[in-house]
Chain A
Amino acid sequence: MKGLIFRCLEELVIEQKGMDLWEQLLEKHCPEDRVYISARSYPDEELLAIATSVSSALNLNMEQTLKAFGTYLFSFLAKKHPAIVKEFKNFDELIMSIDDVIHSEVQKLYEEPNLPTISAKILSKNKIEMIYNSPRQLCFCAEGLIYGCAEHFNESVVIEHTTCTHRSDPVCTLIITHG
């Protein structure tokens, strides 16, 4: 996992729970003197271990924690790359361009980013079907990102997670109703 995601988690934890907790998490789950740099890759297990500890510190289950993290991640990324987000006029335009525009920009900046496969199609005026597929199974984080995106464009959003790899489905299907 890219250091950028760890840096976002670091910012979230320090902002919400202070530096002590972050230091404790690093000491507990990471090699000594770990410093996260956006462009570097770090073991997925580290993220999972930190996220698990965060979820117990926040009294949330993993699903809720990942959703909250995803929501925060969107604003974190939008702050870091305002030019990319400015390219999109509205919520559905951004959601429809994740694979073509956003992921291709990520490919330019980071070596081997191991991005998930995301395809989206418009079902009706306010309804989008998104298929998420990744061996990391971070579909709840993807849900959070969609909530974050909706917040950014001042839209309300409801997501139905109709199929999920956590329930042994081959891919995750997210039906997004926005407006």
Chain B
Amino acid sequence: MLANRLTRGTLGAAMIAVALGTTSVVSQVSTAAAWSLEEAAAPYKGATIRTIGEALPPLEAMKKLAPEFEKRTGIKVEIEMYEHSEAVNKVMLDLNSRRGRYDFIIQPHRELGKFVTNGHLGSLEKYLDSAELRDPQFKPEDQLYPRLWKEISWYDGKVYGFPFTALSMYMWYRSDLLSDEKEKEGFKARYGYDLAPAQDWKQYRDIAEWFTRPDQRLYGTALQGKRHEALWYEWLNFLYSFGGDMLDTKSGSECGPVIVNSPQAIAATEYYKSLKAFSPPDTLNYFWDDVMALMQQGEVAQLIMWNDSTYAVAVDESASTVVGKMGFDIVPQGEGGKVAQVEGWSYLVPTSSKNKEAAYLFIQWMMDYDQQLNQHLNGGATARPDVYSSEEVQKLPYSRASMDSNAVARSKPTVPLSGEMTDILVRELSSYLADEKTAKEALDRSAQDISTLLGSCAPMKYPVE
């Protein structure tokens, strides 16, 4: 550190004396406490780091926080915000051209395999091991949900990033409707048990059926049935909860037998479609945006949605008519027990980055408690349990559902060809919803196509004649 200052060669003797004095004072206290962001960032002062992510509230929150980092470090932060698929495509083009426009990137974790196996990402271990760069207070292994972190930001046993958002899906329901005395009475008379937030899929369907009243513009649920990734994400909740999966593997970076046409998967898929009867008529045209609008308009009794969208329906009165009338819980249980499907965006540092160290410092700073809390309260989804236990976060009506889901998050394939796997499944599931084929036909075809795609490492466990 001292050597560093001296070699800059611009300091006068008096300045050196002051610097020496400061260092000696600090070193007396303790070596661990000597780390400060300002000093760690000094070599990178004047640098500009650029990043890219999806145009959503947590990124907007980050943009508002960045000036403080800039003031403390003299490192300028530029943030580019694009629509979901635009943000992903821009990064793919940048990484593959190796021109290094982005010093770090914020990307969904399903992209990890593509990035890592093609050599676009470097492991962050060396920064975590670096005494100059690593803040001794930053202990991700203790401070983050370990499973979430491993799922979202690790690949093949190596760490590549830190969670920007830890997204999961859980059940949203109208607590005012479910606790209405008249509804409770009628429901019990009809179904023989008490009306309460669904614990299993039978209850979920009963509630959906009970509240489907098109003449009152109320529907039991709303499926995200458009041919779009949203359909796949939603279906995963059903698949996992029914005890099914896509590949028979332990982690997302492994290839393994294809089990997407297992009996459990077929049951989950058939159940999923059965809910179409209790969805609004345009349900095959919905993705997240539409069901969000319906929920805000108070036209749906319960559905399964993203945690980072919760804020706009449960808190934001300018957009929602159901503030104060919402309840949240983990998705109902099936054979697969308590599960949640998790997705997340990560801070990653590309190998083509021109300011890797400065980027690491910014990411590390963003992972601090204060920044995480700020981001979370502005519509983000942190991966730090201590943020969840803060008083302000506890007051949010969806915090418990978020925490429960985070605790039981399931991994999903992040292998290089997982994008094409998703594309196959979206096509086949959409065909099934549109009555072009049966669930078995759709999943058999998916299994065949995925097995062909992944090759010899992915035989079909349930062969098709």
Is chain B found bound to chain A in the same assembly?
no
